[in-house]
Structure 1
Amino acid sequence: MRPPQWESVGAAPRSRSSRLSSHVALHLPLRATRLASPLSRSHEARAMPDRNKAVLEQANAAIAQGDIEGFLAHCTDDIQWTTVGESTLDGKAAVRAWMADAYARPPVFEVHRLVAEDDTVVALGEITLPDRQGAPARHAYADVWRFRDGRMTELQAFVVGQPV
């Protein structure tokens, strides 16, 4: 087995004899300087939250334009949509039926913040849509989305009515 190659960190390259005797520069085995931190994630794992945020932004843009099918294209067939304290919708057909009524007139979104990690994206914001009498109703929301294979597969929506 060959000894590890040495590399100076913070100093100009030197001859082997000067590298071994120098007290100025820190010398580490070359292998050690190239190891990734155990806390670092692969490029793929770091990119996933950004892709998921982009998918949610595209889906929300579709809803804002009244394009329910465009939104559903970003969902898995077995999506579970839970509005906490109210109901759970199982599958695209149930979500489609609910949206046809609740989003008959497209809502207005104000996304204040998107936070993403691994397969989860949290959206914080406000949504305004007509109430049963047609008057604008504003709600603050925190949506917790879970993704599978690049599509939205689960929602836990926390929604609170706000004064208009």
Structure 2
Amino acid sequence: MKLQVAGFLDNTMVNGEGLRSALFLSGCSHKCDGCHNEAMQDYNYGEEIEIDTLIDRIQCNMPLIRGVTFSGGEPFDQAYPLSILAKNIKNMGLSLWSYTGYTFEEIINSREEGKLKLLEQVDVLIDGRFEKGLMEGAKKYAGSRNQRLIDVKDSIRLKTVVMWEEKNKR
């Protein structure tokens, strides 16, 4: 199975907590004004890459990395194949963060099995469309103030949104 990939960073510290790899997916349905990855909105941007190739590349970055972050483009627009990669990442013992222009509520209430399967693998979700006018004062790891850093596991378990940064202040 393949993913349309816009780019890959072997290690980064700006796309989530700790040293991690970042996978940028091609294609985005949101078309946010001021998007800093505008070229990646095109579903044909980048190249098709086999999931096994991505797994090998991530394994080569271990044990240096703590996790992997999905960004884009829009990761949830390739949710089903990405959920397969995500499951492999979790089986490696790595944390998984994902950016999305969808809200947590839009995904959890979706009838799309791929989106739900992907969400179940994610540890921290940075949700919401990027809003250019809300950049100033944005939380660390978020692009605009409306975006939330959500602890997905607790949010699913408790059936209410649990903010990651609040949980990690304790």
TM-score normalised by the shorter chain: which range applies? Answer: under 0.3
> TM-score normalised to the size of structure 1?
0.21
Between Structure 1 and Structure 2, the one with more strand by share is 1
> TM-score normalised to the size of structure 2?
0.21
Between Structure 1 and Structure 2, the one with more helix by share is 2
